[in-house]
Amino acid sequence: MTTLNRSELLFVYDAQDCNPNGNPIGDNRPRRDPDTGQGIITDVRLKRYLRDQLQDDGFDIYVKKTEGRSHTRTKLIKDVLGGVDDADDLEDLGDVAEAFLDAATDVRYFGSTLSFEASDKDEDEAFRDALNSSLPNNYQGPVQFLPSKSLNEVEENEEYDSLTSVISTGEGNRQGGFDLDDKRIKYGIFPFWGLVDNNGAESTNLSQADVERLDTLCWRALKNQTTSRSKLGQEPRLYVRVEYEEGNYHVGGLQNLLELGDDSSESLRSVKDVVVDVTELVETLERVADRIDTLHVVGDGRLELDIGDETIRADEFWSHLSEAGHDVHEIDVLNERDLA
């Protein structure tokens, strides 16, 4: 049985001159709250980065595309189980659920639906029946994130549309409407909140090593998986994993304890314009210190943080928390990375 301490995740990254999460049913415009103008990045978008980084690190994952193509769940499970092709192969595996969770690293984190499609072929139906009798309909993931809303009101940069919509056809004409999905924001800083649920971990065999892997995975995923044309410009700025003592306690909503500092520019265009006020976060961590086992922290020195009357760089945050009496693990993102 897996026994873990509950953890809360606070992961802050920013996006400059890019489209961090376009809405496909909204002309691929960057997602925004219509009332506040805050930018929005969904948890699905963040999980995709994490899944892709897991795959690049050499871990098998279940939810993926191969050669740019989506596949049926039957094809996906055959791929992740490796060499399994029919009901007899499944029987040879013994405990199919254990074999699946051992191979499908992403399912241990985020869960997945496991409803397999019907077929007119008897052999395929026998395989589907064997899968359905060996696996649940879905796994609830013990690691979940809320969608993130930016600390600032984001602005869309209309200049990108105009730049790509006047490309000539080569016949002396302008080709209006070309590549009109190139819609970008000027700047946004996004705090994600996540929970690693100790109770849910048992259902997917999430291990301590899996949880510790998140400490470098989130950071490296933003560094390595946001290099396409519309995604380039995103950078991780602050990561804090609050690992609690045994039990079911967590504060909740850590992202709401952050706000823009008074010294932030009125119009944000880059990380140089931003100061994040973490005073309420620090005060909260001090208030619940007796419930905390360890704080796992990494920060980017280009982001400034306000703590009361003091301003520090984000890469000094671990030191500040340590001096305040917390047990702190300063994460070394590259030297601690866990590759398969």
Q: If you write DSSP's letter for every residue of 196-217 in order, what string do you get?
A: E-HHHHHHHT--HHHHHHHHHH
* Per-residue pLDDT tens digits for 147-183: 999 999 999 987 776 555 455 445 445 444 445 568 9
Q: Is residue 105 part of a domain?
A: yes
pTM to 2 decimals? Answer: 0.91
206 and 263 part of one domain? yes
Q: Is residue 165 part of a domain?
A: no
Quickly count: other Cβ atoms within 10 Å of residue 109's Cβ. 26
Mean per-residue pLDDT, 10-25: 95
Q: Is residue 21 part of a domain?
A: yes
Give yes or no for residue 94 having a pLDDT over 90: no
245 and 204 part of one domain? yes
152 and 17 part of one domain? yes
30 and 81 part of one domain? no
192 and 211 part of one domain? yes
Q: Is 40 exposed, middle or buried (0-12, 13-18, 19+ CB in 10 A)?
A: buried
Last residue of a domain, one of 82, 111, 140: 140
Q: Is residue 306 part of a domain?
A: yes
Q: Would you place residue 31 in the very low, low, confident or very high pLDDT band (cuts 50, 70, 90)?
A: very high
128 and 235 part of one domain? no
Phi, psi of 321 (to 5 degrees): -65, -35
Residue at 44: amino acid letter = V
> What per-residue confidence (pLDDT) applies to 213?
98
> What per-residue confidence (pLDDT) applies to 208?
96
Which segments of the chain are extended strands (E)?
A: 7-18, 22-23, 29-30, 38-41, 111-113, 138-140, 143-145, 148-153, 156-157, 184-196, 234-244, 259-260, 275-277, 292-299, 304-307, 310-313, 328-330
In 3-state terms, what secondary structure has residue 292?
Answer: strand
214 and 105 part of one domain? no
* Per-residue pLDDT tens digits for 225-251: 999 988 999 999 999 999 999 999 999
209 and 285 part of one domain? yes
Q: Is residue 309 part of a domain?
A: yes
Q: Is residue 169 part of a domain?
A: no
Domain that holds residue 135: 65-140
> What per-residue confidence (pLDDT) applies to 172?
47
Q: Is residue 164 part of a domain?
A: no
Q: How many domains does the chain have?
A: 2
237 and 306 part of one domain? yes
Q: Is residue 230 part of a domain?
A: yes
Query: Any idea which of 34-38, 63-67, 72-76, 256-260 has the lowest mean pLDDT?
Result: 63-67
198 and 304 part of one domain? yes
Q: How much is the mean pLDDT over the chain?
A: 92
293 and 237 part of one domain? yes
HSE-CB at 336 with a 13 A cutoff on CA atoms is: 20
105 and 79 part of one domain? yes
